[in-house]
Amino acid sequence: MHIVVCMKQVIDLQQLRIRPETREPVLDGLPLMLGEFEKNALEAAVQFKEANAASKVTVLAGGSAKLTDTIKEALAMGADEAVLLIDPAFEGADAGGSARLLAVAIEKLGDVDLVLLGEGSDDEYSGQVPSRLAELLGLPQITYARELEVLDGGRVRGVQDLEDVLETVEADLPALVSVTSELNEPRLPPLTAILKAASKPVQQWSAADLGVSEETVGAGAAEVEVLSNLAPEQSRKGVIYEDVEEGVTELVKALRQEGVLDG
């Protein structure tokens, strides 16, 4: 069984800062990483391979030119090979464009039995790409899987987390599954695996390689227009209480005056 794990390069949101005077996010210089939900999908794929339920794990990832370094983490976690989707034409894609790009790339890969994705990306988290991709590929899908197993007879079973209920469903392979963070705990690769990752095969595909353009998968095909990405307005009084006992009394008094506390 050949498993393809779709991953995305994102900024480290833990280090995101907001420019106070404009409320704009400061993105320059932020570290890049692979999305956390996608790591759960990759961990599941590697576990299937270790259990001899899969023969090969391919990571299909999109991002900037720095993805050639970022992808080493996925290879160190146990992926056999990686295909990187890097081209200015891919920038500015919305969920629809991303799904179309991934669909073309997966079709180019050929013999794929199982496609795994995270339930959503760390940065935008629209949650639309898995279902859009399954539709484009004509594959049955299991979404929000918190448990997953490959069955005999070419089937896959998953437990879907539908918030108020858990539902167990099965699908014939080939299939597409999006997973939640409850599925597993992604491994931290040891030093030996990190060193071996550099020797694993990595391909890079451009828009020309895939026969697509910005008008079909990038900003030119976007159906969603971003009007603003400003942080909410915050008004801070900047009051500092140096004495603990007096500070508590004054803080409670101030909160009552503001209407935050009753009585």
Domain boundaries, the chain: 2-221, 233-263
CB 32 within 8 A of CB 70: yes
How confident is residue 23, by pLDDT bands cut at 50, 70 and 90? confident
How confident is residue 246, by pLDDT bands cut at 50, 70 and 90? confident
* Mean per-residue pLDDT, 147-167: 94
Residue 258: pLDDT over 90: no
Which burial class, exposed, middle or buried, applies to 119 when counting CB atoms under 10 A from its CB (0-12, 13-18, 19+)?
buried
User: Which pLDDT does position 97 carry in this prediction?
Assistant: 92
User: Which pLDDT does position 206 carry in this prediction?
Assistant: 96
CB 258 within 8 A of CB 236: no
* Mean per-residue pLDDT, 10-32: 75
How confident is residue 209, by pLDDT bands cut at 50, 70 and 90? very high
Residue 256: pLDDT over 70: yes
* Mean per-residue pLDDT, 4-32: 79
Residue 15: pLDDT over 90: no
Three-state secondary structure call for residue 79: coil
Q: pTM of the full predicted structure?
A: 0.83
CATH number given to 2-221: 3.40.50.620
Residue 156: pLDDT over 90: yes
How confident is residue 239, by pLDDT bands cut at 50, 70 and 90? confident
User: Which pLDDT does position 235 carry in this prediction?
Assistant: 67
**Category of 174 on φ-ψ map: left (φ > 0), alpha (ψ -120 to 50) or beta:** beta
